[in-house]
Copies of this chain bind each other. A is one copy, B any other.
Amino acid sequence: MSKVQRQHAGARATGARKPRTKPAEVRRDDLMDAAARLFIAKGIDATTIDEIVASADVAKGTFYHYFAAKTDVIAALRDRFAQGFVARVQAAVDACPAGDAVGRLCAWTAAAVGAYLDQFQLHDIVFHDFGHDRRQSAEHDAVIDQLMTILAAGIQKGTWSIESPRSTAIVIFHGMHGVVDDAIAAGSPDRAQIIDTLSALFRRMLGDGTSRRAERDSA
């Protein structure tokens, strides 16, 4: 239906509207930051576009200049999150010598626990309605691949012997999520302890000779 006739009585009336133009990237980030802040604080559904634009200090139309729909910001936030997570963990892993499979897995565990603990609120937001819940996702796949690469190196060196690297990687990733979630739910999570517990479990699951010997020795 035609809206031509009544369009824009307002814009004309306001008068002093300076464009306050910013580089597109900055504007876009402003909007994403504002959205993330509000989504975490009150949830996605309870956050209105009006609140987002108010928080980013732009007009409503500007939001739709950068995002086609509300769901688009969520997707953008998800991409940003996933990229950051993988990059952060990878950096920690790469700080270990390429040959030290056990060290790299421990580094992965420590970095993943840390990154997840630092960002779990945003994580919950951006992965809440995505795809078939937690089945299938870019972040998920990237992390699983990351883990499988570490496992493959250890297997090749003979450090570990596992039949299904993919399933193992999945158990590690989801186990990590579960244990951290449990710690968050319980109250004040102790990072060092979570990392120790998980590292021990994972190394044992991988048939790590070191952990087995340690057990035997301590027995």
Contacts and interface: CB of A to CB of B under 8 A. Distances in A.
A173 B178 contact: yes
A129 B174 contact: no
A80 to B, nearest CB: 13
Given A3-B65, A5-B45, A68-B1, A182 B166 contact: yes
B161 A215 contact: yes
Contacts of A179: 167, 170-171, 174
Interface string A6-41: 101000000000000000100010000000000000
A4 B174 contact: no
Given A4-B70, A215-B207, A175 B171 contact: yes
Interface of A: 1-6, 8, 24, 28, 44-46, 65-72, 76, 124, 128-129, 132-136, 161-164, 166-168, 170-175, 177-179, 181-182, 184-185, 194, 197-198, 200-202, 204-207, 212, 215, 219
